[in-house]
């Protein structure tokens, strides 16, 4: 599933082509996504100017003059900038038609994505309860330490709780915990403030590096230019169970935490 870096890479890829342009319509070929596409989407957006294209966690928000279009890539979705006449492929479900023959096309083979019209995006239930951005000013060691007090849950589960911090998905939680030297199984409430300072910095470093390298392509994700993300080549632990730790050579251990695949070094992480 595309995580925060992949969504940010998508935002950076499409924004320069679309900001300030007017929408001239929309084509919905299949409304049956994870949430149904609004039946009146074309009517809602036609004639409006795209004022801002921002990311909130794993959601993209296209802010228009009146309302916003929310897009979630789901497990297999991606966006492309194309000429309107570009041949339609199977699973091309929604086109947003912009001035000067530009089309923002949403492709999603598994249909777990979302394209929704929102009158007030920041007050919508999908957005309202999200925690702070991990690359923003409110995600600090002190904040995460406060959130962890009294919690028996594993630290990896806390990192992946969108109400605590938004967008740190499974791949990057594995990598950040390895970089911080913290066992992902460790109770969040038993980690001291100095270690949270290291973890917060590791989360930032891992996410920023992934964005620079175009995200991580494991199966379905491609950038808006059609290329793969190359952070996969930099993964230290994720997907490397039983391989030697890049720091000490100890075989990496696999586990399931919150139903998600977890890989860590039993020697370096404690």
Catalytic-labelled residue, pool 3, 6, 133, 175: 3
Spatial CA neighbour of 178 closest among 241, 265, 251, 255: 265
Q: What is the sign, positive or negative, of the torsion defined by CA atoms of 28, 31, 33, 36? A: positive
State the Cα–Cα distance between residues 270 and 258, nearest whole angstrom: 19
Q: Is 3 a catalytic residue?
A: yes
Of 106, 128, 150, the one marking the end of a domain is 128
Whether 11 and 43 share a structural domain? yes
Of 128, 163, 178, the one marking the end of a domain is 128
In terms of residue numbers, what domain contains 8? 4-128
Question: What are the tokens at 5?
Answer: 């870096």
Q: Is 110:1 a contact under the CB 8 Å cutoff?
A: no
Whether 101 and 146 share a structural domain? no
- Whichever domain contains 150, its CATH number is 1.10.8.50
State the Cα–Cα distance between residues 210 and 116, nearest whole angstrom: 27
134 is a domain residue? no
Q: Is 109 a catalytic residue?
A: no
Whether 9 and 116 share a structural domain? yes
145 is a domain residue? yes
Catalytic-labelled residue, pool 21, 110, 111, 260: 260
State the Cα–Cα distance between residues 267 and 270, nearest whole angstrom: 7
204 is a domain residue? yes
pLDDT computed for residue 214 by the predictor? 72
Identify the residue whose tokens are 């979630």: 72
Whether 145 and 245 share a structural domain? yes
- Whichever domain contains 69, its CATH number is 3.20.190.10
Whether 113 and 217 share a structural domain? no
Q: Is 90 a catalytic residue?
A: no
E strand segments, the chain: 23-28, 50-56, 59-64, 68-72, 78-83, 92-98, 102-107, 114-118, 253-257, 260-264
Whether 244 and 146 share a structural domain? yes
pLDDT computed for residue 212 by the predictor? 85
Catalytic-labelled residue, pool 2, 5, 134, 224: 2
104 is a domain residue? yes
Whether 81 and 16 share a structural domain? yes
- pLDDT tens-digit profile, the chain (270 residues): 678 888 999 999 899 999 999 999 999 999 999 999 999 999 999 999 999 999 999 999 999 999 999 999 998 899 999 999 999 999 999 999 999 999 999 999 999 999 999 999 999 999 999 999 999 999 999 999 999 999 999 999 999 999 999 999 899 999 999 999 999 999 999 999 999 999 999 999 999 998 888 755 444 444 455 554 445 557 899 999 999 999 999 999 999 999 999 999 999 999
pLDDT computed for residue 74 by the predictor? 92
Whether 192 and 239 share a structural domain? yes
Q: Is 156 a catalytic residue?
A: no
Catalytic-labelled residue, pool 11, 55, 58, 105: 58
User: How many domains would you assign to the chain?
Assistant: 2
270 is a domain residue? no
Whether 120 and 146 share a structural domain? no
Question: What are the tokens at 42?
Answer: 């074309």
Whether 12 and 74 share a structural domain? yes
Of 128, 159, 177, the one marking the end of a domain is 128
Spatial CA neighbour of 95 closest among 44, 165, 166, 23: 23
């Amino acid at each position: 599933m595309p995580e925060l870096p992949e969504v940010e890479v998508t935002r950076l890829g499409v924004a320069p082509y679309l900001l300030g342009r007017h929408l001239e319509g929309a084509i919905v070929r299949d409304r049956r996504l994870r949430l149904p596409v609004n039946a009146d989407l074309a009517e809602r957006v036609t004639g409006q100017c795209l004022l801002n294209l921002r990311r909130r966690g794993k959601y993209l928000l296209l802010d228009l003059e009146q309302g916003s279009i929310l897009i979630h890539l789901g497990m297999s979705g991606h966006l492309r900038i194309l000429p309107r006449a570009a041949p339609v492929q199977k699973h091309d479900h929604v086109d947003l038609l912009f001035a000067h023959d530009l089309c923002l096309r949403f492709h999603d083979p598994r249909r777990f994505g979302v394209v929704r019209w929102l009158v007030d995006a920041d007050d919508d239930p999908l957005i309202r309860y999200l925690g702070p951005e991990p690359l923003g000013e409110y995600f600090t060691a002190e904040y995460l330490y406060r959130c962890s007090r009294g919690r028996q849950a594993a630290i990896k589960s806390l990192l992946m709780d969108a109400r605590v911090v938004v967008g740190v998905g499974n791949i990057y939680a594995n990598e950040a915990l390895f970089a911080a030297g913290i066992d992902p199984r460790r109770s969040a409430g038993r980690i001291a403030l100095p270690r949270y300072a290291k973890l917060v910095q590791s989360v930032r470093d891992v996410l920023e590096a992934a964005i620079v390298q175009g995200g991580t392509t494991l199966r379905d994700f491609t950038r808006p230019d059609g290329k793969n993300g190359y952070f996969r080549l930099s993964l230290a632990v994720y997907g490397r169970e039983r391989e030697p730790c890049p720091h000490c050579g100890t075989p990496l251990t696999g586990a399931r935490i919150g139903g998600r695949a977890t890989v860590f070094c039993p020697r370096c992480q404690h």
